[in-house]
Amino acid sequence: MFRIGNLFIDFLFPKSPRALELEALSVSEILDTCREAAEIKEKNILAVFDYTHPLTKDLIWEVKYRGNKILAEKLAMILYDVIRQEMLEMMIFKSMLLVPVPISDKRREERGWNQAELIAEKLATLDGEKLFKYLPRELVKTRHTESQTQTSSRKERLDNLVNSMEVLHAPAVTGKCVILVDDVTTTGSTFAEARRALRAAGVKQILCVAVAH
């Protein structure tokens, strides 16, 4: 039924030639082509690819603005290996909570999805080792903020986001370790606000992972 539904959607809203090219890429081809992200100096924030690379931009755009689940799954496969390795290096051997960075209700209505959720959902389905428990819509965006691309400095981005997120039910996360997932991190201001809200709810440890930087 899922395949039939996708065929029907593709018939009504045909994908661009570029989208089909991207979907045809294997995970190995993506890893071989996309440029690796520069190391982020801030502790416990990881990104896999350099966002300025054309292929990386195209992949992110398709997931973010077209809701492409095929590409979300390919990116999730890459993130899964990164998360698994990082947990080993951090000597974390217990299950962590997998939390997507939230978007506002207004943004969800405009788009129809949250790209971080699309990736996190695929991560959860890939997790045969039970490395984490998926916890969607627990960390929420309580007020709409302007796009971060409209701000010119890290301070402006931080001011734009301040106190815009919260945890709905603190007992669900108190004392736990969390993996925060997003598509792109630029200045780290979105991760900073998400971490503030999680720590206020009593989260013990937070690992931030993005597809690109």
Q: What are phi and psi of 138, to 5 degrees?
A: -95, -40
Higher pLDDT, 134 or 10: 134
Looking at the predicted structure, is the pLDDT value of residue 151 above 70? no
- Residue-range domains of the chain with CATH: 16-212 (3.40.50)
Which of the four pLDDT bands, split at 50, 70 and 90, describes residue 99?
Answer: very high
Return left, alpha or beta for 72; rule: phi > 0 is left, psi -120 to 50 is alpha, else beta: alpha
Which of 69-83, 129-143, 147-161 comes out lowest in average pLDDT?
147-161
Beta bridge partners of 205: 177
pLDDT band for position 5 (cuts 50, 70, 90) = very low
* Rounded alpha-carbon distances, angstroms, from residue 23 to 20, 33, 69, 96: 5, 14, 10, 30
- Close Cβ partners of 137 (under 8 Å, ≥ 6 residues apart): 102, 168
Q: Are 121 and 67 in contact (CB under 8 A)?
A: no
Residues 6 or more apart whose CB falls under 8 angstroms from that of 82 comprise 46, 48, 209
Task: Locate 110 and state its tokens.
Answer: 């405009």
Looking at 26-35, 130-139, 154-163, which range is the least confident one?
A: 154-163
pLDDT > 90: percent of the chain: 75
- Categorise residue 209: left if φ over 0, alpha if ψ from -120 to 50, beta otherwise: beta
CA distances from 165 to 30, 82, 111, 112, 178 (A): 33, 26, 19, 20, 16
